[in-house]
Amino acid sequence: MKKTFQMAYSMAGSGRPLLLIHGYPLSRALWKAQVEALKELCTVITPDLRGHGESEAIPGPYSMDMLADDCAHLLDDLQLQQPVIVGGLSMGGYVAMAFCRRYPERVAGLLLTATRAGADSPEGRANRERAMQLAQESGAEAIADSMLPKMFAPGTYAQRLDLIAFLRRMMSQTSVEGIIGALAAMKDRPDSLPGLTDFSKPALIIHGAEDQLIPPQDAQAMHTTLPQSQFMLLPSAGHLPNLEQTEPYNAAVRHFIQRLP
C-alpha cells in the first residue's frame, strides 16, 4: 500500500543515494552534521518517520515493516530506483534491517549505528507499555526527561549542554501519536539477527563504547553474523555517536562509502 500521509524529508548533494533513518523519538535533524559532511559524496536523503519531526502525526500502531515501506515509497516518489546505501540509528537501524529484508535488491550497503538486531525481551516489552502510558498521560516532554540522561556517554552528559538542549528540543517536538506508534513497533519487532546471515552487501557497524541503552555486545553480535561487515567502537560516545564524536563518525562513514563497489 502506498503511504497515505505527508512525509517530511530533506535531500542534499549529488552522487549515489544514501538514506539516513533517525531513531526514536527523534527527527531528521539528527543527521545535520552528516548531511553537511557527506553531501559532496552522496545524495543524502533524510526522512522524518511518520509521527516524528515534521511528518504528519498519524496514530499508530506502527510496525518496522510499515516504516520501511514508507521509506521505499519516498524513494519511489523521488524516482530513485538505483540501490541505496541504507543507514539507521537505533530504531532507525531496526527500520533499516526491515528495509533490507523487504527490498534486498534496493540496497547497496548498510550502515548500522547504535542499534541491535534482536527483538525486545519480556522486560523490554513491559518498559514499552509503561512508556506508552507515560506519553499518553504526560506527553513528549516527560518522555524526553526520562530518556535524556541515558542517551549520552556520562562525559558528554556532563559537558555538552548544547547537545542536551538540542536533543531535548527534538524529542519534545515529537507527536504523542508518533511516540506511541513507534513504541508499539519496537515492542513487536521481530528478531532480525537470523536474516543478517544472508545479507550479502557490505555493512558498517558503529557503536558508542559507552552506550547505556544498547550494549556494545549487541552490535558485536551483528558483526559476527553479517558476512561482510566492519565494526567500529567509538570511545567517549554513548547512544548518539554521530553527535558525540562527529568527526571520527563522519570519517568512518566516508571511508566506507568510498570503498563500496
Strand pairing category for 42-47 and 9-13: antiparallel
- Output 18 or 186, the one with its CB closest to ligand MLT: 186
CB of 37 to ligand MLT, least distance (A): 21
CB of 21 to ligand MLT, least distance (A): 10
* Residue that has been written with the C-alpha cell 506519553 in this structure: 135
d(CA 86, CA 11): 14
Candidates 20, 171, 186, 243; binder of ligand MLT (CB under 6 A) is 186
Contacts with ligand MLT in 121-140 (CB under 6 A)? none
CB of 42 to ligand MLT, least distance (A): 23
Spatial CB neighbours of 56, under 8 Å, sequence gap ≥ 6: 5, 6, 7, 50
- Output 90 or 174, the one with its CB closest to ligand MLT: 90
Return the closest-CA partner of residue 52 out of 11, 88, 21: 21
Residue 180 is a binding residue for ligand MLT (CB under 6 A):
no
Q: Can you spell out the DSSP letters for 54-102?
A: TS--------HHHHHHHHHHHHHHTT--S-EEEEEETHHHHHHHHHHHH
d(CA 136, CA 238): 28
CB of 154 to ligand MLT, least distance (A): 17
- Output 186 or 205, the one with its CB closest to ligand MLT: 186
Candidates 7, 19, 20, 24; binder of ligand MLT (CB under 6 A) is 24
Candidates 213, 218, 221, 236; binder of ligand MLT (CB under 6 A) is 213
Interior angle at CA 32, CA 28 and CA 37, nearest 5: 135
- Output 43 or 86, the one with its CB closest to ligand MLT: 86
- Output 178 or 202, the one with its CB closest to ligand MLT: 178
- Output 91 or 243, the one with its CB closest to ligand MLT: 91
Q: Which amino acid is at 131?
A: A
Contacts with ligand MLT in 84-123 (CB under 6 A)? 90-91
Contacts with ligand MLT in 51-90 (CB under 6 A)? 90
Using CB under 6 A, list all residues that contact ligand MLT: 23-24, 90-91, 186, 213
